[in-house]
Chain A
Amino acid sequence: MKKRNMRNLMPLTLTLLLVSCNSLDKLINGVAPEVERITLTQYEIDPGDTLTASVVVDTGDDPMQFEWSVNGGQLLPPTDGSSVIWRAPVTGGQYRLKVKVSNEIGTDKAEQNITVRSYINPVISIQSPLGGQFFTQYQRIPVAVSASHDNGIRALRLFTNDTLRASLDGSAAQSYLFQNVLLGVAGQMEIKIEAVANTTDAVNADSVFINVEGIVPGKK
């Protein structure tokens, strides 16, 4: 009886051994995915439009699983392949597409930025000086501005009475300061700031009118 039981168990044992050896062999000799990059059919896109994203995998044993994710817009099914279609959201800005590629051996990831163009104008507001404020001729004053756009600000330009006086590069910050703006002419003065957006070059402006009181300079 004992011998018959042992003989019945033999095929099962051998199968188990074979499977384990195969797995072990794979673990020792198998190749995990190595992702090179994500490619896109377009890297700048209008709101609501679609693009195709594909992952380029250098090596890796099949079968591989693909997991896509993004922080906005919509991934259109099927979303488990090496390529996926993405629909851009209504709001412009920078979006981050990610993919995770896995097999039995391991996992690798990649990410790619996508710019969605925003055709709305920048939001801009002069914080100081305030409209109607009085200053003295030849005084130098700071002009503080807040400016923002979904695609970021490329540049700001300062005009006094329609003459360009200074410019600043845009940055990730929303607050900007023009320092030492010279009030050279007496009378009412318009200070105007133009903001230019990245990507679409959309422009918007804000202005204030201040009073510059004339003075005859004395000896320093």
Chain B
Amino acid sequence: MDLRSVFNRLFLLSGLILMAAGCADIARDNPLDPRNKDSRQMQTVLIEAFVNTANTQNYNEMMLAALDSLQRRHPQKLQMAVYHRNTPDFPDALHINESELQYQRYLTALGATDKGTPDLFINGIHQRVQGASSVNTALLRLEAALANALNADGYYSIETDINRSGNQLDTEVTLARLGSHNGRDLRVKAMLIANLGAPHSQHTVTAVTRSAAISRLNAGEQITRALNGLVLEHAAPHRLLILVTDENESTVYQCSMFSL
């Protein structure tokens, strides 16, 4: 071995040692790095609307129009999910079982018994907005209800790996806990959001998975859950919405929308 090659190896080795030492000293100051104790991201606000568009009044349509205006005002900060519910006199063709199950979860969490449509929940039971008498007043009330939710910090980041086979979707969700506090007693679920093409129908919920439980997610850690079995029953374009909630599925901590 000649002197030059020994010298080169020594040089390389010392460089590697220096890099390793240097890397250990780099501060984790990326706000999206789960291992940064100060990490966080903007919480995307979820508005879930329970509507019935089969009845003879137009209160639900007013609220849906207001929601569309709201989305245009806050395109990066809001996601919408519109569930259709049957009412005693007006069965809705877009009703799914999960609509009623989720609605009842919210009412139970609130200790409320007054049912009706339109009925909206912001980040779960954080805020509730019921009824509409005009698009303008509905928009006014929604803006007021959103005031504290917009620009709030979120402490979960969501990534997905989507596998589509025909009209069936299987999803692997990776959830990371940001910040310095641990997450406990969480649930994660996925739902298909269809754009049905008709006015004010871009956010229709057509299918929801059962939620998967996460008993603990420490700060800086990641965890993966499989959410399988979603079926695309409509030919319309769909997107995939992932939610992280509390164990009762009544408070939404974070949501993310993914294209299919």
Judge if A1 is at the interface, Cβ distance under 8 Å.
no
Contact call A216/B116, Cβ cutoff below 8 A:
yes
Say yes or no for A211: interface residue by CB 8 A criterion: yes
Interface string of A130-164 (1 = CB under 8 A from B): 00001011110000000000000000000000000
The answer to whether B113 touches A220 (Cβ under 8 A) is: yes
Checking A136, A211, A212 against B114 with a beta-carbon cut-off of 8 angstroms, the contacting residue is A136
Q: Is A186 an interface residue (CB 8 A)?
A: yes
Question: Is A78 part of the contact surface with B, judged by Cβ < 8 Å?
Answer: no
Residues on the A chain within 8 Å of B114, using CB = 136, 138-139
In the assembled complex, which residues on chain A have CB atoms less than 8 Å from the CB atom of B132? Answer: 213-214
Given A136-B130, A220-B113, A215 and B137 contact (CB-CB distance below 8 Å): no
Q: Which residues of A contact B (CB under 8 A)?
A: 134, 136-139, 186-188, 211-220
Q: In the bound complex, do residue B117 and residue A215 qualify as a contact, i.e. CB atoms below 8 Å apart?
A: yes
* Contact call A217/B137, Cβ cutoff below 8 A: no
Contact with A along B112-134 (1 / 0, CB 8 A): 01111111000000000011110
A162 to B116, CA, bound (A): 27
The answer for the CA separation of A134 and B116 in the assembled complex, in Å, is 16
Bound state CA distance, A186 and B130, in angstroms? Answer: 12
**Cβ contact within 8 Å between A216 and B117:** yes
B residues 120-156 with Cβ under 8 Å of A? 130-133, 137-138, 141
Q: Which one of B59, B87, B114, B133 has the greatest number of beta carbons of chain A within 10 Å?
A: B133
Nearest Cβ on chain A to B161's Cβ, whole angstroms: 38
A139 to B119, CA, bound (A): 14
Decide if the interface of chain A is mainly helix, strand, loop or mixed. Answer: strand
Q: A67: shortest Cβ distance to chain B, in Å?
A: 67
Contact between A219 and B137, CB atoms less than 8 A apart: no
- Which of A139, A187, A217 neighbours the largest number of chain B CB atoms within 10 Å of its CB? A217
Q: List 15 A-B contacts (CB under 8 A).
A: A136-B114, A137-B116, A186-B59, A186-B131, A186-B133, A211-B133, A213-B59, A213-B137, A213-B141, A215-B59, A215-B117, A215-B119, A215-B131, A216-B60, A217-B88
How distant is the Cα of A219 from the Cα of B91 in the complex, in angstroms? 12
Which of A186, A188, A212, A213: most chain B CB closer than 10 A?
A213
User: How many angstroms between the C-alpha atoms of A220 and B104 in the bound complex?
Assistant: 11
Other A-B pairs beyond A213-B59, A215-B59, 6, CB < 8 Å? A139-B114, A186-B59, A188-B133, A211-B137, A215-B119, A218-B116
Which 4 pairs from chain A and chain B are nearest by CB?
A: A213-B131, A218-B115, A215-B116, A214-B59
Task: Give residues in B with beta carbon < 8 Å to A.
Answer: 52, 55, 57, 59-60, 85, 87-88, 90, 113-119, 130-133, 137-138, 141
Q: Which of B115, B117, B130 contacts A220 (CB 8 A)?
A: B115
Evaluate contact between B115 and A217: CB separation under 8 angstroms. yes
Interface centre among B90, B114, B116 (most CB of A within 10 A): B116
B87 near A217 with CB under 8 A, answer yes
Quote the shortest CB–CB distance from B146 to chain A (angstroms).
15
Determine the distance from Cα of A138 to Cα of B114 in the docked complex, in whole angstroms: 9
Q: How far is the CB of A134 from chain B (nearest CB, A)?
A: 6
A218 to B55, CA, bound (A): 12
Contacts known (A218-B88, A219-B88, A220-B115); A212 close to B133, Cβ less than 8 A: yes
Q: Are B133 and A216 in contact (CB under 8 A)?
A: no
Given contacts A134-B137, A137-B131, contact A217 B116 (CB under 8 A): yes
Asked whether A214 and B137 contact (CB < 8 A) given A136-B116, A186-B131, the answer is no
CA A188 to CA B137, docked complex, whole Å = 11
Q: Which residue of B lies closest to A219 (CB)?
A: B88
- With a CB–CB cut-off of 8 A, which chain A residues contact B137? 134, 211, 213
**Once the chains bind, are B130 and A213 in contact (CB under 8 Å)?**
yes
Q: Please name the residue on chain A nearest to B60 by beta carbon.
A: A216
B90 / chain A contacts, CB cutoff of 8 Å: 216
Measured CA separation A218–B131 after assembly (Å): 12
Set of chain B residues within 8 Å of A213, measured between Cβ atoms: 59, 130-133, 137-138, 141
Instruction: Report B-chain residues with C-beta under 8 Å of the C-beta of A220.
Output: 113, 115
Chain A nearest CB, measured from B90 CB (Å) = 7
In the bound complex, residues from chain A placing their C-beta under 8 Å from that of B113 are 220
Q: Are A216 and B59 in contact (CB under 8 A)?
A: yes
The minimal Cβ–Cβ distance linking B84 to chain A, given in whole angstroms, is 12
With A134-B137, A136-B116 as known contacts, state yes or no: A216 contacts B130, CB within 8 Å.
no
